[in-house]
Structure 1
């Protein structure tokens, strides 16, 4: 009987140690990819930023320095975030609709590419606080500013948008029947100028700059419905990446909005205009 008790006690101790070991392993594994993210970036010495530079003045290519480089508000913000973390910023070009996939696959550490938080995207990524809010507008050919008078008329026309953008989701929800989605804003605007589509839905800051650069295009006088028509931009990180990392980003976003945003927007708008 005594021996049986000792065996039972020994088995209980083994099971207890096993559970402790398992729990310790689970705790370590469940937090390694999240709580260590900030440390991983600091140890690597770089913040890898996913960006699609076709969205001036937020991200675009500039040859001002004599070589082709990425410029824009989002680049400035990315460098500010890297500086706050204590590393260098490295920018990796990825098509807009591939950015979230690259983030989930750990090919990049953060997305800074004029991305708007949406319920669908929030299933896959965590967003920072907004650093910019703009309104979507309707672009048309010059001289056709008053041609589209109602939203019902717009629904029956050919409308172009950037693939994977909030504008694509917006006009789909609006009920537009003929939608042409293209990779880049210049491609979208070219389709409009060539008469292959009747209108383009685009962010106001980006749209007006592109219309000025391309010529022959103008903002339609039809106002889009306010519901879901605004485009807020935020940084995106892999879902579950740690709180300390997101806090660093939000701290920088707050400071950038207060002290740098307007200057960066003006400088990059001027640079994008001179770039053509």
Structure 2
């Protein structure tokens, strides 16, 4: 199984399918609670995807309750349940990575990332990760190394089987701040220049002298290869982050990203600007 296969995406798809089948059966949550003798909380957690590893027997009970007799539909839903119970590679780094975010990212076909204050994580070099980790008050060398290892593993998985499109726009200030760390600056910029040559990667810098509409903070828009999987906007917070799936909210962030692209240097202007920084 590919490391970019995502149980997170399958779990969300399972939740959508279960809600659809309940609506087709013309049953409310209370109707299902009464029929199954489950708590409303348990049913709600299964439908919302909060139950991380739903049991196949539980899903089979719901299919029986909804009177789903078509063997093809039953097996498709049960397969989604089995797939959602798999463990992604990121589980071993769950103390330093957001499992839900990396789970979505793992299967995204298009990733659009705006960063206000740092280099996008998918292109950070180990020296840069170590520097910003220590700046974020991660003091124990073992903890710092764990953050570095998780970041590098994330990059390896993504770029071994890359998405169709990775579009990274960020404020040049993230690099300007590295002038007091010339070795890190040179290594990081060299990585950006190298990555810009990849066919699926587009990098744009917003010059630090330009006003832009991205001061509200960083975000990532993720689209998926299957039309049954809705796009997601991830807003980073101090905890796990905020995930937006409402069509209007996603559209609003797409417009914002388009404006940021227009504000930034063109891709063909960005690489020369990067070269100037380490000339």
Give the TM-score, by structure 1 length: 0.26
More strand by share: 1
TM-score (norm 2): 0.25
Higher Cα radius of gyration: 1
Structure with bigger RCO (C-alpha 8 Å, 6+ apart): 1
Determine which structure has the larger helix proportion and give its number: 2
